[in-house]
Amino acid sequence: MATTQIEGGANEFESTIGGITVRGKAHSLSAWFVLALRLMMGYAFLYSGWDKIVAAEPFSAQGYLVGAVPDASPMAGVFAAMGNTAWFVEFVNVAVPWGELLIGLALIVGAFVRLAAFWGAFMMLMFYFGNWDVAHGIINGDFAYMLVFLAVAAFGAGRIVGLDALIEKYELGGEALVEKYPMLRYVLG
């Protein structure tokens, strides 16, 4: 299978943080893998949210928050406090299933991908501490999925066969939406 390499630096990336610069050059197939990651996480979250919403029993996070989080978790006390706060449990009972569904939908259609990926990464971080098990090291599936969400956001996966590419180009008063409102770059892409 032949691929076409884009010339002119389109597949090159560079970032400097704290005085340290890293550079890379992506293979032309990278876009397909970034798209696959976006769709995979989108499907996983859409399915998980939908499953909770249509379940025979209403979703309740209280049992998990107060009883399932291992005592060894650095956030065990925080989870217990959340689970013992009625208004917070009610909020989480809505936020988790609907958040998963909306994050999944946003990723699948490629709209507001950076915003969706941020909240997906946040949820995975909370699941990481809630499912704390370091018997095989500090890296587990929840941590890995958090990194996948962050990669999807960093690579602007919503621009790859996604609605973000169209939203960014939408003109408002003769000016591209992201030019008129640059902060949108933080939620689109």
pLDDT attached to residue 101: 98
3-state class (DSSP) for residue 58: coil
Residue 51 above 50 pLDDT?
Answer: yes
**Which tokens sit at 126?**
């909370």
Percentage of residues in the chain with pLDDT exceeding 90? Answer: 62
| Residues 120, 136: Cα–Cα separation, whole Å | 24
pLDDT at 104 over 90: yes
What is the pLDDT at residue 136?
77
- Stretch 10-34: mean pLDDT: 86
4 pLDDT more than 60: no
Neighbours of 159 (CB within 10 A): 19
What pLDDT, on the 0 to 100 scale, is given for residue 49? 97
Give SS3 for 7: coil
The reported pLDDT for the residue numbered 6 is 43
Give the pLDDT score at 2. 53
| pTM, 2 dp | 0.86
